Structure 1
Amino acid sequence: MSAAVSRPIVGISMGDPAGNGPEITVKALADASLYERCCPLVVGDAKMLAQARTFVNHPEIEINAISALEDARFEAGIIDVYHLDLVKDVRSFRLGEVSVEGGWAAFESVRTLIELAMEGKVDATVTNALNKEAMNLALEPQGKHFDGHTEIYATYTKTKKYTMMLAHHDFRVAHVSTHCSLREACERVKRARVLEVIELGWQACRGLGIENPKIAVAGLNPHAGEHGLFGREEIEEIIPAINDARAQGIDAVGPCPPDTVFPEMRGGWYDLTVCMYHDQGHIPTKTIGFVYDRAQQAWDAVEGVNVTLGLPIIRTSVDHGTGFALAGKGSSSESSLVNAIDFALRLARSR
């Protein structure tokens, strides 16, 4: 291992090998300046990273396949891969398609990454995208099922209280519920859970160096219920949770009408907004983070970071999917992955 391991070791999962994870990983790690800030370690299949070099026109980068961290070199121009030999034959493996092999490779990369972090061998973890259908096809014979990365991390770290936070620079949202039906999401809006997410969001902001975070809490219903006219969840569940948070000294405000709280947060009124369900938080964050150039018929930016709050280890992620349609073309943007690595480093420094 390189002598300069005073830099944080950041583990990066490969993602589904049928997607753009390997390509954007090579693109991100081709930047030599990244190695001045951290020691990146990719967890997955070295063969897929070697193939990805050709897609993104970086054949000069060396792929260092290792089975022990002592063999990592952590030098610019070299990508250290904790090699799990997950894809049998790269030449016959089909990119851009859902497959059991791809789903298993993505899952094992993440599970191993979590294991390394729990053993203290890496300081932070960053995940590339996996395909939920492919992963669960691979896990069905074992009687396992996961809705996504967040639930995998919660299971293998034995974490009970956790939530997802999305961030685009200083625009941050945390979720009361994520991957469930909208009907079920409404049923999950309970006082204890709303308070839990307020607390987790406040702690995350503190971890980012914000001394006195101001937390907005969105309503569930239009106009935040309009004093019970459009629903009573605000009165019976959300307001009591906000009062509980205030009693702890947390600067929580709301319930805020969901159609105005996000422009306010973008204007700097709040440090984070607690959202009641998946799309309430995802849509505004991705609207500002994903920028499509009509004239060029291409994405100008695909930015944003996904963070799991409440874990004993650091986990950030790209805020986009596997990009199956772009796999093998070398055109996928690495911006979200670079942002996720930088965000992980900020959290690692605070710990």
Structure 2
Amino acid sequence: MTALPLALTMGEPAGIGGEIAADAWRALHATGPVFVLLDDADRIRALPNAPPVAVVAGPEEAAASFPTALPILHRPLPLPTVPGAPNPAHAPAVLGAIAEATRLAMAGRVAAVVTNPIQKASLTAAGFPHPGHTEYLAELTAGGPPVMMLACEGLRTIPVTIHEPLRTAIARLTTAMILDVALVTAAALTRDFGIVAPRLAIAGLNPHAGEAGTLGSEDAEIVAPAVAQLQARGIAATGPWPPDTMFTPTARTRYDAAICMYHDQALIPVKTLDMAGGVNVTLNLPVIRTSPDHGTALDLAGTGRADPASLIAALRMAATIAAHHRRP
């Protein structure tokens, strides 16, 4: 079966999305994976590192032009962009690209959605009600509760609680939440990554995983019961692991993914290990979605110094997941 192209969204027009898309095309045009960019073609042509551009009518035309030009579904912006200066007037176009890419994936016209970083403050100023891409994609697809995975070479982490203050995250953490996220993760490791019998490491919440109750009772009362329930379902889950030692090179060989209790517990190790190559993957949606594991880098926009490595990794991972989905 011929692989479908990936759909890459524009992201924040004042950020580095266009520049890293251009450099990703340069890195991948001879080998793939093929992707089509939903963006303003004139904006891309005006970039300092502008690639050859081919405006296409649909994603079906992307493969033919990809070896020699970056295929673009031309979606004009209402105003010119200024590098480093987000404009809420661009919010409808930014969100429209995400929605269109998602529709294309739902219709089977692209293999996956890869999203360039968005500027959340700019979207919020325009009335966007969601904290980020993940929640918006869940609304667009009417999928199950989305689960965030951060992945790089040698490590996958999944936060149980995500975009909320730490005090709030700890207060609402439950055994059921941990169990639900772990079950979604185990299924995704098999379906998306081809791991037949996934091994899950469940992180503790407190220092030293509570130190037998002397540093907090949550690990014994909330986390450990989730581990026991996973084991009862036949899943190779272990924990609670002391969070300060579970990301060492030796420890990482003992599991396929780490279920973490809060945002920074999951993101810090991945970004420390491989900031340039980290990928954000959204699990539990009816479409495949990946994203670079960094923000809009407004300070780098227009300078030519943006690193496309994370976007290239996100495109490759989306293609790999799509290939697993195509296998019988």
Q: Same fold (TM over 0.5)?
A: yes
CA distance in 2, matches of 1:276, 1:247: 21
Matched, 1:239 2:234: no
RMSD of equivalent CA atoms: 1.7
1:215 deviates by: 0.6
TM-score scaled to structure 1, two decimals?
0.87
The number of equivalent residue pairs is 323
Identity %: 36
The corresponding residue for 2:78 is: 88
The answer as to whether partners of 1:41 and 1:82 remain within 8 angstroms in 2 is yes
1:26 deviates by: 0.4
1:39 to 21, 34, 41: 34
The corresponding residue for 2:87 is: 99
Aligned residue type for 2:262: Y
SS at match of 1:17: coil
The corresponding residue for 2:240 is: 255
What do the CA deviations read for 1:87-144 (whole angstroms, capped 9, x no partner)?
2343xx2210132024333222111111111111111111110011011112x1xxx4
Aligned residue type for 1:185: A
The corresponding residue for 1:179 is: 163
The corresponding residue for 1:130 is: 118
The runs of 5 or more residues in structure 2 that have no matched partner are: none
Q: 1:209 to 1:63 in 2, by over 3 A?
A: same
Aligned residue type for 2:59: L
1:248 deviates by: 1.3
Q: 1:104 to 1:204 in 2, by over 3 A?
A: same
1:331 to 278, 286, 305: 305
Aligned residue type for 1:16: E
1:71 deviates by: 4.5
The answer as to whether partners of 2:60 and 2:109 remain within 8 angstroms in 1 is no
Write the mapping of 1:1-351 to structure 2, written as runs, cut at 5 A.
6-31=2-27, 33-34=28-29, 36-52=31-47, 55-56=48-49, 58=50, 61-72=51-62, 73-85=64-76, 87-90=77-80, 93-138=81-126, 140=127, 144-206=128-190, 207-263=192-248, 267-290=252-275, 302-351=276-325
1:160 deviates by: 2.7
Q: 1:27 to 1:266 in 2, by over 3 A?
A: farther
1:259 deviates by: 0.5
CA distance in 2, matches of 1:265, 1:104: 47
What do the CA deviations read for 1:225-261 (whole angstroms, capped 9, x no partner)?
1222222221222111111111111100000011011
The answer as to whether partners of 1:114 and 1:156 remain within 8 angstroms in 2 is yes
Aligned residue type for 1:137: A
The answer as to whether partners of 1:30 and 1:76 remain within 8 angstroms in 2 is no
TM-score scaled to structure 2, two decimals?
0.93
CA distance in 2, matches of 1:161, 1:245: 19
Q: 1:219 to 1:210 in 2, by over 3 A?
A: same
CA distance in 2, matches of 1:316, 1:71: 22
